[in-house]
């Protein structure tokens, strides 16, 4: 049955501009429709927040943040946002319409994909997220449902509805927004999400594309959350034998439970993905999975297999108890005052003791319940939906419902036009005593703040100042500066004085201090090398393992930053100590031709020098500087002599 026929918005004209033609998909926060902009005569996608959420100002602000965030992104792999607005109880986004399907549709139809196809989808997804990350935003809800594949083969990332600024306060006290199957451990345990949370979700999506199934499953969301926290994502090759080691390593790196071990953003993961692809042969890329796991094998799929939802956040002290709940025990029946106790050991059943008492008790309860219903039904009404209406329109609608307007406040809003209702107390739909008063909050329109001058401020202080101004800290990059102290801000993007809306991300450039030219300490003793580097302002670490080296045993064989490299004050240089040269057996080449001797000696790891005594007409080795059968340091020079006739 076509459920779109039952949708009240289908066939309607929203906001006097958008004709709703058909319902495309239903998610946890909104419904997406195919619509036509009658002003511009173009097809687009209309994302309309569920009316039950539209009464919550917090959800509305989060929903509309998608329009603000994506509007700043101009990338071919990001679904564009054209417009946003509200029409009564309907809050909407007008977006680019992509004719095609979602990655979820592909996985449901085909199961596991060949590695080449999986990487062809993953790379544009990471390119889109990389643009968002470098612009200072985190998606926070990556999953196959949000990857659109157009009929022309283009891949686009959609649904930035949970997007937040990088570095902004993403902690919550009791709940996390997201999708259970793709939540990173730190989102579950701490309620925090930065660019590495998107990296984790992309790793899960890659696993799903390669194997046809999710890495962590369970009968309840609690079981899935527990496995995210306590179990590593398995290697895809365990489910699909023959998958290349590089793919296992790519998934393992992206889904590391320790966020510090993961690639720091999608740009980094994209680079690693391309390196992995380059290392694979055509045979490895075109491996056909022997048996694709199908998510819908048990029956038709629901409209959204992985809806975005509000998930209770697991506090650290509760993680050990995050297990499927035990079977619910039937509670003991406590006697109701005024009624006989329930039968128990040594008691006769209630009915046998007094049927009249039972009948009387039931009649009494029914009588009391009926009385309460009768009294309440005439004294309470529900607050009508007036969000988005003018003060006059809202006042009239409240009056028609028998309610009065109480006090009126005003507040800034990025969603509602100036002068329209942005919130009510009680909220729309809540019960209120008849002829009661409803408090209205009217929109003052968007608030604009100026980017402060942060030059010379320590990074921690700069972040605090941005927070005080209502702005968010975006991407932080570091560079050398001879004029700005190490750890202080050199500049910002946007520049100081630029007007921005609240919660906008401000990217910061932080000084690494004046550059230090790294000296060469190879061949020195550990003590001398350490002293030299520390005097230059660097920190020294000595590797535990030693290596074979032409340098004398106990001296420095290698340093992590070569001579002439630039480092910041306090940077760590790792020194590796030499075990001395590796001793190699010297081949006996006397009597061999020059070419034969050179090939054999160089193959053993030696340098070769040829000497000839005059007059020389022969081409046969008469002597060698190190006798054959003895040993010499690898890399050392062996001299061969050709004597004359």
| pLDDT given for residue 644 in this prediction | 63
| pLDDT given for residue 232 in this prediction | 93
Per the rule left: phi > 0, alpha: psi between -120 and 50, beta: everything else, 111 is left
The residue annotated as part of the active site, out of 41, 141, 152, 248, is 141
Same domain, 135 and 111: yes
Same domain, 488 and 545: no
| pLDDT given for residue 418 in this prediction | 78
User: For residues 208 and 236, is the Cβ–Cβ distance under 8 A?
Assistant: no
Same domain, 190 and 316: yes
Domain boundary among 390, 419, 443: 443
3-state secondary structure 50-67: CHHHHCCHHHHHHHHHHH
In-domain check, residue 595: yes
**Cα distance between residue 424 and residue 430, in whole Å:** 10
**Cα distance between residue 210 and residue 422, in whole Å:** 46
Task: Specify whether 141 is catalytic.
Answer: yes
Same domain, 496 and 596: no
Total of domains in the chain: 6
| pLDDT given for residue 305 in this prediction | 53
Q: Report the predicted TM-score, pTM, of the whole model to 2 decimal places.
A: 0.49
Domain of 466 in residue numbering reads as: 449-511
**Cα distance between residue 432 and residue 403, in whole Å:** 9
Residue numbers of the chain with a pLDDT score lower than 50 = 1-4, 162, 165-176, 292-304, 312, 314-378
In-domain check, residue 299: no
Query: 383: closest CA among 394, 393, 391?
Result: 394
**Cα distance between residue 413 and residue 420, in whole Å:** 10
In-domain check, residue 432: yes
User: Does residue 382 sit in helix, strand or coil?
Assistant: strand
| pLDDT given for residue 291 in this prediction | 56
**Cα distance between residue 617 and residue 645, in whole Å:** 6
Same domain, 407 and 477: no
Which CATH number is 593's domain given?
3.30.10.20
User: For residues 203 and 170, is the Cβ–Cβ distance under 8 A?
Assistant: no
Which is it for strands 637-642 and 607-612: parallel, antiparallel or unpaired?
parallel
In-domain check, residue 356: no
Helix axes 195-211, 245-254, angle to 10 degrees: 150
Same domain, 489 and 414: no
Q: In whole angstroms, how far apart are CA 399 and each of 323, 385, 395, 406?
A: 51, 13, 6, 12
Same domain, 235 and 182: yes
In-domain check, residue 615: yes
- pLDDT single digits (tens) 354-392: 443 333 333 333 343 333 333 333 456 788 878 888 999
In-domain check, residue 529: yes
Q: Record the tokens describing residue 285, joined without a space.
A: 């890329």
User: Does residue 356 sit in helix, strand or coil?
Assistant: helix
Same domain, 156 and 239: yes
Same domain, 255 and 384: no
Same domain, 141 and 256: yes
Helices marked H in 469-525: none
**Cα distance between residue 121 and residue 119, in whole Å:** 5
**Cα distance between residue 432 and residue 264, in whole Å:** 50
**Cα distance between residue 193 and residue 167, in whole Å:** 9
User: Does residue 535 sit in helix, strand or coil?
Assistant: helix
Same domain, 398 and 492: no
| pLDDT given for residue 307 in this prediction | 60
Q: How many CB atoms lie within 10 A of CB 537?
A: 14
In-domain check, residue 300: no
Same domain, 191 and 311: yes
Domain boundary among 539, 561, 577: 577
| pLDDT given for residue 231 in this prediction | 92
In-domain check, residue 391: yes
- pLDDT single digits (tens) 42-53: 999 999 988 877
| pLDDT given for residue 52 in this prediction | 77
């Amino acid at each position: 049955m076509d459920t779109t026929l039952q949708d009240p918005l289908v066939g309607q004209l929203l906001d006097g501009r958008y004709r709703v033609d058909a319902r495309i998909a239903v998610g946890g926060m909104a419904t997406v429709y195919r619509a036509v902009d009658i002003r511009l005569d173009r097809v687009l996608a209309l994302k309309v927040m569920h009316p039950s959420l539209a009464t919550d100002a917090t959800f509305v602000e989060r929903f509309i943040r998608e329009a603000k965030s994506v509007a700043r992104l101009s990338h071919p792999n990001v679904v564009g946002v054209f417009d946003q607005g509200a029409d009564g109880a309907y809050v909407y986004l007008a977006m680019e319409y992509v004719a095609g399907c979602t990655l979820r549709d592909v996985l449901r139809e085909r199961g596991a994909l060949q590695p080449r196809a999986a990487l062809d989808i993953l790379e544009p997804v990471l390119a889109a997220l990389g643009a968002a990350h470098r612009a200072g935003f985190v998606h926070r809800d990556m999953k196959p449902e949000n990857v659109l594949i157009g009929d022309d083969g283009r891949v686009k990332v959609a649904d930035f509805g949970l997007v937040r600024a990088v570095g902004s306060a993403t902690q919550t006290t009791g709940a996390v927004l997201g999708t259970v199957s793709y939540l990173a451990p730190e989102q579950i345990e701490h309620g925090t999400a930065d660019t590495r949370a998107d990296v984790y979700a992309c790793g899960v999506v890659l696993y799903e594309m390669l194997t046809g199934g999710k890495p962590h499953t369970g009968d309840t969301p609690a079981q899935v959350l527990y496995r995210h926290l306590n179990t590593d994502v398995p290697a895809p090759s365990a489910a699909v034998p023959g998958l290349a080691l590089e793919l296992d390593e790519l998934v393992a790196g992206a889904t590391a439970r320790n966020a510090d071990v993961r690639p720091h953003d999608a740009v980094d993961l994209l680079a690693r993905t391309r390196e992995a692809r380059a290392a694979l042969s055509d045979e490895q890329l075109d491996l056909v999975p022997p048996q694709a796991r199908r998510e819908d094998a048990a029956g038709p799929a629901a409209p959204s297999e992985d809806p975005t939802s509000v998930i209770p956040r697991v506090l650290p002290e509760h993680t050990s108890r995050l297990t499927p709940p035990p079977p619910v025990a039937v509670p003991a029946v406590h006697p109701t005052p005024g009624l006989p106790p329930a039968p128990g050991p040594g008691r006769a059943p209630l009915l046998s003791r007094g049927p009249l008492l039972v009948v009387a008790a039931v009649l009494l309860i029914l009588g009391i319940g009926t009385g309460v219903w009768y009294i309440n039904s005439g004294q309470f009404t529900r607050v009508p939906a007036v969000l988005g209406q003018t003060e006059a329109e809202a006042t009239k609608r409240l009056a028609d419902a028998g309610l009065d307007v109480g006090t009126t406040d005003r507040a800034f809003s990025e969603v509602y036009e100036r002068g329209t209702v942005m919130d009510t107390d009680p909220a729309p739909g809540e019960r209120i005593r008849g002829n009661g008063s409803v408090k209205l909050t009217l929109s003052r329109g968007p608030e604009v703040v100026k980017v402060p001058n942060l030059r010379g401020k320590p990074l921690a202080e700069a972040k605090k100042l941005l927070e005080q101004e209502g702005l968010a800290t975006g991407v932080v990059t570091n560079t050398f500066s001879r004029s700005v102290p190490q750890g202080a801000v050199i500049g910002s993007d946007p520049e100081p004085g630029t007007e921005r809306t609240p919660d906008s991300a401000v990217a910061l450039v932080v000084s690494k201090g004046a550059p230090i030219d790294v000296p060469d300490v190879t061949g020195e003793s550990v003590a001398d090398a350490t002293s030299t580097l520390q005097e230059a302002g660097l920190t020294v670490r000595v590797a535990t393992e030693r290596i074979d080296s032409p340098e004398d045993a106990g001296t420095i064989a290698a340093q992590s930053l070569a001579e002439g490299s630039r480092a910041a004050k306090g940077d760590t240089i790792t020194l590796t100590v030499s075990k001395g040269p590796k001793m190699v057996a010297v081949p006996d080449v006397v009597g061999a031709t020059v070419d034969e001797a050179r090939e054999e000696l160089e193959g053993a790891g030696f340098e070769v020098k040829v000497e000839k005594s005059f007059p020389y007409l022969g081409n046969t080795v008469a002597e060698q500087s190190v006798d054959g059968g003895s040993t010499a340091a690898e890399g050392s020079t062996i001299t061969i002599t050709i004597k004359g006739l």
